[in-house]
Amino acid sequence: MFKVNPELTAKVVEIHNDLYHYGSQIIEIQNFYEDPDSVREYAISCEKYTKEDNEDLLASAIGRRVCEDTLELGYQIKDTFEQLCKHPGWGIEFNKEDHDYYWSGMRFTVNVTNNQEIIDDGRDMIAHVDSDFLKWACVIFLNKPEECEGGTGFYRYDSDNDKIYLEHLSIMEYNKAVLYPSSMPHGAIMEKSMFKTCDRLVQVLFM
Ligand SMILES: [Fe+2]
């Protein structure tokens, strides 16, 4: 199910951010899974947890989250991420031991959010950085083309006026993966008018 498309094309996007001395690039990969429909169907079939079920599990996610133990995910895609994380342009040192550690416990995690949950959350912007313990994170969009709205935003912090600015919008496209340094400010772009007829489905990986 999680088999990676054998012919991936990766596009590197430079994100200007003076605050961070390393990891100023993201990598966008189209057509990531060979069979994204099966991954999407699996995500839809899985149990979804809310903040009431487990606050830690949701972390910064809004709405619900799928979180399934599966050995197949690591088996199928770990090596691809090792290659991506060794990209010479990253400026983040690759450490095989850390990488193996994170992948040994990698779960199938999907953020699931609908229109009412976006409204209930109330925030206009959801920019944050992921945990200090991590080096990279990745989102993979699992909405069909006709369902795609918004995406993931990457931000620049301006210390002069203590504000953050949207530097790059990685638009939502079915089966597109976006790998980014976990220290880079980012957030889901979801407006209060979006996802009225379907759930937003975004797989997330942290490593
Ligand atoms: Fe995040």
**What domains, with CATH codes, occur in the chain?**
9-206 (2.60.120.620)
Q: Determine the average pLDDT of the residues in 64-87.
A: 93
CA of 186 to the centre of ligand 1 (A): 6
The pLDDT value recorded for residue 20 is 55
Q: What is the pTM of this model?
A: 0.94
- What is the per-residue pLDDT across 157-190, written as a single tens digit (0 to 9) for each? 777 888 888 999 999 999 999 999 888 889 999 9
Helix (H) or strand (E) holding 57: helix 55-58
Helix (H) or strand (E) holding 202: strand 200-206
Across the beta sheet with 151-158, the strand order is 163-171, 151-158, 186-189
Q: Mean pLDDT of all residues in the chain?
A: 91
Residues 164, 154 contacting (CB under 8 angstroms): no
pLDDT at 21 over 60: no
CA of 205 to the centre of ligand 1 (A): 9
Cβ-count burial 16-32 (b if 16+ within 10 Å, e if not): ebeebeebbbbbbbebb
The pLDDT value recorded for residue 22 is 52
CA of 3 to the centre of ligand 1 (A): 24
The strand ranges marked E within 36-120 are: 48-49, 64-69, 107-113
pLDDT: which is higher, 16 or 62 = 62
The pLDDT value recorded for residue 127 is 87
CA of 197 to the centre of ligand 1 (A): 24
pLDDT: which is higher, 136 or 91 = 136
CA of 48 to the centre of ligand 1 (A): 18
The structure tokens 């009225």 sit at 196
CA of 6 to the centre of ligand 1 (A): 27
The pLDDT value recorded for residue 206 is 94
The pLDDT value recorded for residue 81 is 94
Sequence-ordered list of residues with C-beta below 8 angstroms from that of 112, at least 6 positions apart, any chain: 43, 48, 63, 64, 65, 66, 199, 200, 201
The pLDDT value recorded for residue 197 is 96
- The letter for the amino acid at 70 is T
- With pLDDT > 90 as the criterion, what percentage of the chain qualifies? 65
Sequence-ordered list of residues with C-beta below 8 angstroms from that of 145, at least 6 positions apart, any chain: 173, 174
pLDDT at 149 over 70: yes
Spatial separation of the C-alpha atoms in residues 135 and 22, rounded to whole Å = 11
| Length of the chain in terms of residues written | 207
Task: Kindly list the distances between the CA atom of residue 181 and the CA atoms of 21, 125, 185, in Å, as whole numbers in the listed order.
Answer: 11, 19, 9
